[in-house]
Amino acid sequence: MSYQQLTEGKRYQISVLLAQGSPATAIAQAVKVHRSTVYRELKRNSSREAYNPGKAHQQAMRRRTGAAKYRLPERVVRYVELTLSWRWSPEQISGVSKLIGLPVSHEWIYRHVAADRVRGGKLYKALRQGHKRYRRGANSKRSVIPDPRSIDERPSIVDTRERFGDWEVDTVLGKHGSGALVTLAERKSRLYLVRKVAAKRASDVRDAIIDMLKPYAAYVHTITADNGSEFVEHKAITKALGAEFYFAHPYSSWERGLNENFNGLLRQYIPKGTDLRMITGEDVRKAEKQLNLRPRKCLGFRQPEIVFQEYLQAA
């Protein structure tokens, strides 16, 4: 197996396997890299406190960004900072940069903004979501999702909304430690499903998704999620429902825009910061019902619940 650079996710896999007592050769096979990569990683990034994947990734990124081949030309940096001042998003800046011959990735822009703030800069204020957005970037711990399928592999028909049975999934948190809500949205009919779970544990989220969609299993073709750790049981969901499970790109909430929109509407009934222990299952069902009976302009001002039932009967 040829040499590969380790991602942050693979570093967390290495940490878990080390804790289980796996030898370096077995770890290399599990994370699909050459064994010399694992030996080199442990030698470079271990300390007296043992191997810390978060610190290891930060150290690796500092070494990488310090290398000459990762330094961007000054004209590219000036372009990025100018367009940030115009309130362009990193994705817009990156997209245009390729058209004008100054290519830069949106991930690099987020890292640049984060580094600028550490130095006392104010670039972060130009981001639509300010500091909240970049804090979820390079230094945050990403979950280890086994064998994720990228949204890039998802059938193009899902984007057109022509097919009935393509779903988006997400979770909404209550007050710290009080539980979570699992939410699903069907892309064509705009039906929205909500289920309360005791915690944002992968097992709880897995069971809730399967239970909510089981009655419609014949009409569940795809499910698209973000990269949260609560979706690590995606293979079990796929097996139970016979559906394909895909993951959106990091920091790309618009790729699950319908679900994100509904989650915002849900806050009208269950405000942010609510102690979900005080919310009953009946409260959740009432909120779900209200949202599914709202006329939607995209449906010709028809109600998602009615449209969904029509599709079920016609299928």
**Number of C-alpha atoms within 13 angstroms, CB side, residue 74?**
0
pTM tops 0.85, yes or no: no
- pLDDT for position 66: 53
190 plus 297 within the same structural domain: yes
279 plus 220 within the same structural domain: yes
Strand order in the sheet with 166-173: 192-197, 180-186, 166-173, 222-225, 244-247
In a domain, 242, yes or no: yes
157 plus 272 within the same structural domain: yes
172 plus 34 within the same structural domain: no
91 plus 197 within the same structural domain: no
309 plus 184 within the same structural domain: yes
Average pLDDT value for residue range 231-236: 95
85-110 pLDDT per residue, tens:
998 989 899 999 989 999 998 888 98
| DSSP single-letter state for residue 112 | H
Q: What is the DSSP string of 44-89?
A: HHEETTEE-HHHHHHHHHHHHHHSGGGPPPHHHHHHHHHHHHTT--
22 plus 104 within the same structural domain: no
Lowest mean pLDDT among 32-36, 94-98, 165-169, 291-295: 32-36
Lowest mean pLDDT among 4-8, 72-76, 153-157: 4-8
**Number of C-alpha atoms within 13 angstroms, CB side, residue 54?**
7
In a domain, 142, yes or no: no
Q: How many domains does the chain have?
A: 3
- pLDDT for position 237: 97
34 plus 89 within the same structural domain: no
157 plus 217 within the same structural domain: yes
195 plus 79 within the same structural domain: no
Give Rg (Cα) of the chain. 22
171 plus 291 within the same structural domain: yes
* Cβ atoms of residues 243 and 161 within 8 Å: no
In a domain, 144, yes or no: no
Containing domain of residue 80, as a range?
Answer: 72-134
**Measured distance CA(179)–CA(274) in Å, rounded:** 10
119 plus 242 within the same structural domain: no
Percent of the chain topping pLDDT 70: 89
Which range in 20-34, 95-109, 232-246 is most confidently predicted, on average pLDDT? 232-246
